[in-house]
Amino acid sequence: MQLSVVYGAPTPPGRLATAVDHVAERLASRSAGAAIHRIDLHAEPLAPMRTSWSEELDPRNVRAIEAIDASDGVVFGSPVYRASVPGVLKNLIDHLSVESLRDKPVGLVVVGARPHHYLGVDRHLRDILSWFGALALPTSVYLTHDDFEDGRLRPGPDAALDDLARALLALVERVRGLDLGPAPLAAAAT
């Protein structure tokens, strides 16, 4: 099994990185032998979206795309940025083909300033993921600064991230290799 965990922020690691790393650790500990690939859009930002599919991609982009393509499941970590996802995460998603996420389980971890920002990223990413035909987990984990103490996760949010990792692995085990058609409308355009 191969899983990808994406740190989808242009900013230096902080609370979101703590949460994403927690999920990556739980995925690794719950799935013996699984390869966990961490894509860090701060440490290794991708080149901008190409203007033609015939253009050669930057090697950083190739590594990220190949990791997601080969994954059985993906976790996207995103901060709330202007009521949506930051451009670096959207840039990564724009580089993916429909097949990259089609029929693939996806978990969402979002960090925002206030609880009322919850639906911004969740709604936007779910719309994008449905375009791909991805299988977003029914619920995501949304965290605020109150869910951390001295840079560490508090026990409640810690358990929610554990549940997200468990649910993602359970869904991966059940759907891996299945064609869950019909194909998304986006597949007709590719």
pLDDT computed for residue 30 by the predictor: 93
Report the distance separating Cα 121 and Cα 142, nearest Å: 9
What one-character DSSP code corresponds to residue 113?
S
Report the distance separating Cα 107 and Cα 74, nearest Å: 6
- Each residue of 154-185: b (16+ CB within 10 Å) or e? eeebeebbbebbeebbebbeebeeeeeeeebe
- Each residue of 104-134: b (16+ CB within 10 Å) or e? bbbbbbbbbeeeebbebbbebbbebbeebbb
Q: What is the pLDDT of residues 121-178, one digit of tens each?
A: 899 999 999 999 999 999 999 999 999 999 999 999 999 999 999 999 999 999 998 8
Q: What is the pLDDT of residues 92-120, one digit of tens each?
A: 999 999 999 999 999 999 999 988 888 88
81 Cβ contact partners less than 8 Å away, ≥ 6 residues apart: 9, 87
Say if residue 189's pLDDT is above 70.
no
CB 124 within 8 A of CB 82: no
| Percent residues over pLDDT 70 in the chain | 98
Q: Tokens 């013996």 label which residue?
A: 32
Give the domain ranges of the chain. Answer: 2-188
What pTM was estimated for this model as a whole? 0.94
pLDDT computed for residue 10 by the predictor: 95
What average pLDDT does the chain have?
A: 93
Beta strand 35-40 pairing with 73-79? unpaired
Report the distance separating Cα 122 and Cα 124, nearest Å: 6
pLDDT computed for residue 92 by the predictor: 96
| Percent residues over pLDDT 90 in the chain | 76
Q: How confident is the model at residue 83 (pLDDT cuts 50, 70, 90)?
A: confident
Structure-model confidence comparison of residues 179 and 80, the more confident one: 80
Question: Which CATH superfamily includes the segment(s) 2-188?
Answer: Flavodoxin domain (3.40.50.360)
